[in-house]
Amino acid sequence: MRFYEFEKKVEGSTLAVRQINRAADEIGKQSYDYEVYKTAAEMLDKQMLKSLAQLLDDSDTAPKEFVMKTIANHDPDTFKKMYGDQDGYFSVMEPQQDLTDSEIQEGAEMTAYHKHPKDDKLWTFPDAYKDDESVESPYMSNASMRQFLDTLGYDPNFEDQSPVPAKEFIARTTQWLQKNIGKRSPQEPTTIDQNPGGATMIGGGKPEGHMNQMVKTHNEIARKILAKYPEVTHIGFN
């Protein structure tokens, strides 16, 4: 897998997808909403946003609002792609007209690793870490992750970057926060790229201080990971 390999890589296993799947398992197959939740989770996992929006439009209010709220809370970039800047009741929101289905998942998050005890060519992570929501990092679009890494001085091409030492990451983010005390990152407006005869591409804007908050959040999560899982040595972005 490029410069390194992972023993386990939970592809598409974002917190939003896991929350929806978990809700389906909790209500059971006897519930009318079970198939809605399971199908929604699969479509979200594959970024089949057009089909997901249609599924939700055809669903009852309760499952529709649960899925939309879960995506809004745990995968805001995807929610913005689907519903733009609408606010208010989820049940009356209209999906964006330029949604498409894609089998390629776009986005990345921070993940903790350590070398496999039986093969130092493999990266792995503690068993309990995978489902530990208390150390779940924000899921970001590819563009947002590249900007985040570039801000910290890392290679923005995260697809080709090996995991970095966890303590070094904490030190680097701490230093960045100290240097930027009282200096909030600038607001980034929403961009709209209209291609004649093609889709309208909407780039999500960011409020003032967004980067400060993201660096602070990742610093705190990395510290919590090392406290709970002392065997972790590295942080990756994938």
Choice among 66-75, 160-169, 186-195 with the minimum mean pLDDT:
186-195
Name beta bridge partners: 235: 112, 164
Choice among 5-19, 99-113, 157-171, 195-209 with the minimum mean pLDDT:
195-209
Give the mean pLDDT of 120-139. 86
Name beta bridge partners: 48: 101
Which are the contacts of 216, defined by CB distance < 8 A and separation ≥ 6? 173, 177
pLDDT digit string, tens, across residues 101-120: 764 456 788 999 999 888 88
Is the pLDDT reported for residue 174 higher than 90? Answer: yes
Residue whose C-alpha is closest to residue 72's, from 16, 25, 155:
16
- For every residue of 70-85, DSSP letters joined together read HHHHH-HHHHHHHHTT
Give the mean pLDDT of 202-223. 84
- Provide the pLDDT for residue 205: 62
Does pTM surpass 0.85? Answer: no
Note whether 167 and 54 are within 8 A (CB).
Answer: no
Q: How far apart are CA 89 and CA 80, in angstroms?
A: 15
- Provide the pLDDT for residue 1: 28
pLDDT digit string, tens, across residues 13-70: 588 888 998 999 999 989 989 889 999 988 898 888 988 998 998 889 999 999 999 9
CA dihedral defined by 38, 41, 45, 48, rounded to 10 degrees? 90
Note whether 61 and 7 are within 8 A (CB).
Answer: no
Q: How far apart are CA 157 and CA 147, in angstroms?
A: 10
Residue 113, SS3? strand
Q: What are the residue ranges of helices labelled H in the chain? A: 15-27, 34-45, 49-57, 61-74, 76-83, 142-151, 166-179, 210-228
- Provide the pLDDT for residue 7: 42
Which are the contacts of 89, defined by CB distance < 8 A and separation ≥ 6? 65
Give the mean pLDDT of 126-142. 85
- Provide the pLDDT for residue 5: 42
Mean pLDDT of the chain: 84
Long-range CB pairs of 81-84 (<8 Å, 24+ gap) are 81/49, 81/202, 81/204, 82/49, 82/52, 82/53, 84/202
Torsion sign over Cα 72, 74, 76, 79: negative
Task: Provide the residue ranges of all domains of the chain, joining segments of one domain with +.
Answer: 15-92, 107-237
Choice among 10-19, 28-37, 71-80, 147-156 with the minimum mean pLDDT:
10-19
- Confidence band (pLDDT; 50, 70, 90) for 12? very low
pLDDT digit string, tens, across residues 84-102: 989 888 988 999 888 887 6
Give the mean pLDDT of 219-231. 97
- Provide the pLDDT for residue 11: 40
Give the mean pLDDT of 149-163. 90
Which are the contacts of 58, defined by CB distance < 8 A and separation ≥ 6? none
